[in-house]
Structure 1
Amino acid sequence: MKRWAFLLSAMAVAGCGGSDSPAAEEPSPPQAVLEDDAVAPDEPSTPQRLVPTIPENLDTRCDEASAPGPAWADCEATNYARTLGALTEQVSIPFQRRYLEQTLSNVDDLVQRSILDPSWLLSLSLNTPLTPLCATYGLPCTGDPYRYPEANGPDGKGFYQSEADVTDVVFYDRECARLSGTVWVPKHAAADNPVPTIVITNGSVQAPQTAYSWATQALVRAGYAVLTYDPRGQGRSDFQTPLLEQGSNLNPKVFWEGQVDAIDFFRSTPDQHYPHSQACGRSTPTDVFDYNPEWSRLDHSRLGIAGHSLGAIGVSVVQGYGAPGAEPWPGLMDEDNPVDAVIAWDSLVTPTGQGLTTASNLQLPAPLYDVMLLAITQGILPEFAPRVPAMSFFADYGFLPAPYLVPPDPDGGKVAFEVWKAADVPVYTLGFQGTTHFDFSLLPQFPATSWCPDVSGNACSGGWGRPSITHYTVAWFDRWLKVAGEPGYEDADERLIDDARVGAADRMSFHYHSARAYPDRNGGQQQCERIRGGCGD
């Protein structure tokens, strides 16, 4: 991803397909729905069949509008205007003040690290204040500025004091580049109350771990321990290895190979040290961890992974090691692939490299899209296959949002969905109106739907795409990783099929179809090829 300048213009357009209120309420609690002939609740021996809730008065004018035509053009103008939501709201004085305060604090933190350990600068890693691009965690790389300990709010000081134990870590990857990471653990987690685990992998270039605090905090609050980290070549990790091996877009393999290394580190213990710490032999004077310091509070039998952009390609690969016909699990801590569930923020890819929706969705010229797919498929991706339950998000617009002149292929977001479905592996794909590639990495000054319209409580509240993306992210992991008695276990399915709630079908894309095909815990099949088209029957 690159930083781009965008020209803002005033747009007055009619609403279509959902409420345009930027400070919309967070999604409402789910409502369990039973079929009319379902067994009564006082007969627990027979599972109750769950059916999706049905939105009332869902505005489908945009779904039905013909193109070209004034109705479709009006819908597209309204939809495209949402890509400017984040940019327009961030000019407010409270946001700018907090944003600049956190930028200065993060830059100071980088300076202090360099003073305490000059090897971060004086080495072959090519680390400088400007390389990798987001080494400072400043300006857009700050992410949500209200999610730091310095922020006086519920997602800032309140979160760090009362909800989570947060530990910065440094560990080597397989080629001895230092990776900067953070371990986040709910305060209630303990050796006798271990919690399930999640590893998050960033998108490429200008997407440090700070851009995903929105997801990290939500998952910690839902009862997960989370490892975030900067892949090699990004953020505060080494720009390259001691032997000059590259990272980031110059070497996309770090998004699946480095992810396997991060999983190994997360699962390391005092009795089973992280192998690369020993193999790299303290090649730098940096205090590198031999094992995860929070190991005793984690339930290593339950692991989910999530990734964005190139990180989404990474999770597609990593979940599929060990599947029939795929390469074996390459990690060093486990014999078999330990991943149980996966989420791709913008989007899953198939074993042939397809699935990044369409050229029009990515806002790429068709020849460039073809070159990109060719690069992915020609010997770069290892052999993998659908293996575990997967949720795939897509965005209406790509890196450089531009309005559609003609409707895109409505099934453009379902390419990987169909591959997972054909393999009989649970899958869910969905996207939301007006969202861009940057609705998943919340970077100030980048085009995205509203994600910080209200800061009156010293936190970014409300928004358009973020609340919905968060809701489904947590619900999907709850469906596959939680066990009976844990918060989120009982109603995970209801949350996933509550199409009538605010932020569900009412905000889903009318350009692309959202769909699901997975079994709920009651044994029912939740299958729908077009959620906005209605799945109640």
Structure 2
Amino acid sequence: MRLLTAALSLLVTAALATPASAAPPDPQADLQNMADSYGRITGEGGQLQNPAYLPALVAATTGRYVEQLLTQVASPLRLSLTAGNLVPGWNVGNPLRAGWTDTRGRSQRVAFTNRYGALLRGTVWRPLPDARDPYTGKKLQGPFPGVVITTGSIQGSQGMYEWLAQDLAERGYVVLTYDVQGQGTSETLPHEDSPLNQPMVPFCNPLDCHGVPSQQLGNFTTGTEDALDFFVSDPKHQYPNENSAGASATSPYNPFWRSYDAEPVAIIGHSLGATAVSQVQGTDRRVATVVALDKLSSDGAEPRVPALAIQSEYFFEPTPAAEQPDPGRERATGYDAWKRAGLDTMLVVPRASTHLEYTDIPLVLPASRYGQALTSVYVQRWLGHYLKSRPAAPLLDTTFRYLEPVGNGRWEPVTLRRADLLSGYYCSAYSLDGLGENGDIADVGC
């Protein structure tokens, strides 16, 4: 009888200790969550619901593709054999953002060689002269903090991340987007160790072909470091551009160096780029903070600076939840390690989000309707605190205002409600100096 009583007691205790979220997910709610993961395409105001989207996509695709072809023709020995360079529309980003340059900010194409002589192409972004913050109306005062964005792998290209560069630039940052070697419009092969001793000719040692294939972590860590070197260059400290023979033109230094404050730099990366920036922040003393877009990683990384992690519910495709997901899954990849190190950190998991939230891709691949907007808001506020010494409290707001492009040169405000847009499966969390800790912002049962 005592054994039976003890067993019943244990069962009751376990039942009381089990959070409500441990019950199997509701099938209808799970199906709705998966459907919402296509919201960027099918949702209200999404790509198929906005009549301005398809005409803008055709125009932007044509213009970007012709531009890339002309750039390639000008450097015939610097071949970019990539999807971003060869497939129309791959590198176009969000066509509703057409007209941003010279109306909301400035941008300029740049090209520089990496340490292996491969030509990397990118874009530098900054505010307009005498610009005002589009959210507050306050005049932007330079010089501005710097941000370097590293793309994701599997042929991620800088055009897919222009949304974040533009959102930051118009709020008072100088931003570099670039394509790592072998992706986007950057060169595929290195220029070193050629048996012909011809630096103009690309050469790939089959036993040690640097940067080939592009899908390797080292390509993204060295890409981030070389991009930082270029970003902080100026006329007195020019970028070396080694083995640049055969390139039609390389940039000797950051053309927006006058606008840039050389001290605070943030690095942002997505996917394999997120893993790369997680590592680079631990070794590069120029980095003041890091933002990892799916996912912040403590594997091989030493937490050294404050880190914001934006992470997703799904990978490339939404899948049914056969059993109740582990609410702490997204905390374990990096957030917990940063918290243990005593560093400020925050984890945001958008609802119905996929690995592709952070890339602008037309019509095909899933992403939630407002995951990208929510990401931009948190990145803007995070960098506002850690690069501009603004208060951290707005990171904990429950509603946000975001300016969204709708086409024809117009940006319109939308209201984002945190309770509606955070995951109901996985914890979002923060541990911030002066603001305390909360390991379960969305109350999912961590």
Does the Cα contact within 8 Å between 2:60 and 2:92 map onto a contact in 1?
yes
Tell me: CA distance 1:201–1:85, structure 2 relative to 1, closer, same or farther (3 Å): same
* Structure 2, unpaired ranges of 5+: 1-18, 132-140, 192-202, 205-209, 401-415
Q: Which residue of 1 aligns with 2:13?
A: none
Q: Which residue of 2 aligns with 1:394?
A: 311
Partner Cα distance (1:98, 1:219) in 2: 23
Please list, as runs of the form range in 1=range in 2, the aligned pairs for 1:371-390 lying within 5 A after superposition. 384-390=301-307
Amino acid at match of 2:47: Q
The offset of 1:399, in angstroms, is 1.4
Q: Which residue of 1 aligns with 2:32?
A: 78
* Structure 1, unpaired ranges of 5+: 1-62, 122-126, 148-155, 322-328, 330-336, 353-383, 451-462, 484-488
Tell me: CA distance 1:198–1:137, structure 2 relative to 1, closer, same or farther (3 Å): farther
CA RMSD of aligned residues (A): 2.3
Q: Which residue of 1 aligns with 2:83?
A: 133
2:366 counterpart of 1:448: yes
- Equivalent position to 1:348, from 285, 289, 296: 296
Amino acid at match of 2:48: V
Amino acid at match of 1:309: S
Partner Cα distance (1:137, 1:230) in 2: 15
Does the Cα contact within 8 Å between 1:67 and 1:73 map onto a contact in 2?
no
Amino acid at match of 1:256: T
- Equivalent position to 1:289, from 237, 251, 266: 251
Question: So what's the TM-score if we normalise by structure 1?
Answer: 0.67
Amino acid at match of 1:222: R
Amino acid at match of 2:365: P
Partner Cα distance (2:374, 2:187) in 1: 34
Q: Which residue of 2 aligns with 1:533?
A: 443
The offset of 1:65, in angstroms, is 5.4
Amino acid at match of 1:507: L
Partner Cα distance (1:299, 1:212) in 2: 22
Partner Cα distance (1:476, 1:507) in 2: 18
Does the Cα contact within 8 Å between 2:74 and 2:248 map onto a contact in 1?
no
Q: Which residue of 1 aligns with 2:8?
A: none
Amino acid at match of 1:237: S
The offset of 1:437, in angstroms, is 0.6
Partner Cα distance (2:327, 2:257) in 1: 45
The offset of 1:436, in angstroms, is 0.4
Partner Cα distance (2:382, 2:41) in 1: 29
Tell me: CA distance 1:201–1:178, structure 2 relative to 1, closer, same or farther (3 Å): same
Does the Cα contact within 8 Å between 1:134 and 1:208 map onto a contact in 2?
yes
Question: So what's the TM-score if we normalise by structure 2?
Answer: 0.81
Q: Which residue of 2 aligns with 1:252?
A: 217
The offset of 1:351, in angstroms, is 3.0
- Equivalent position to 2:398, from 499, 509, 529: 499
2:256 counterpart of 1:339: no
Q: Which residue of 1 aligns with 2:47?
A: 90
Q: Which residue of 2 aligns with 1:438?
A: 356
Q: After superposition, give the CA deviation of every residue in 1:444-464 in whole Å (9 maximum; x if it has no partner).
A: 1343345xxxxxxxxxxxx42
Amino acid at match of 2:398: D
Q: After superposition, give the CA deviation of every residue in 1:159-189 in whole Å (9 maximum; x if it has no partner).
A: 3123322110000101110000101111237
Paired residue secondary structure (1:246): coil
Partner Cα distance (1:233, 1:476) in 2: 31
Partner Cα distance (1:83, 1:141) in 2: 22
Does the Cα contact within 8 Å between 2:124 and 2:175 map onto a contact in 1?
yes
Partner Cα distance (1:446, 1:91) in 2: 11
Partner Cα distance (2:363, 2:437) in 1: 38
Q: After superposition, give the CA deviation of every residue in 1:120-149 in whole Å (9 maximum; x if it has no partner).
A: 34xxxxx3xxx21111473243220122xx
Partner Cα distance (2:130, 2:112) in 1: 23
Q: After superposition, give the CA deviation of every residue in 1:337-366 in whole Å (9 maximum; x if it has no partner).
A: 1000110011101134xxxxxxxxxxxxxx
Q: Which residue of 2 aligns with 1:106?
A: 64
The offset of 1:440, in angstroms, is 0.7
Q: How many residues align?
A: 383
Deviates more, 1:470-479 or 1:502-511: 502-511
- The answer to which structure has the higher strand fraction is 2
Q: Which residue of 1 aligns with 2:93?
A: 143
Q: Which residue of 1 aligns with 2:281?
A: 319
Structure showing greater relative contact order (alpha-carbon pairs closer than 8 Å, 6 or more residues apart): 1
Tell me: CA distance 1:165–1:241, structure 2 relative to 1, closer, same or farther (3 Å): same
Partner Cα distance (1:109, 1:173) in 2: 22
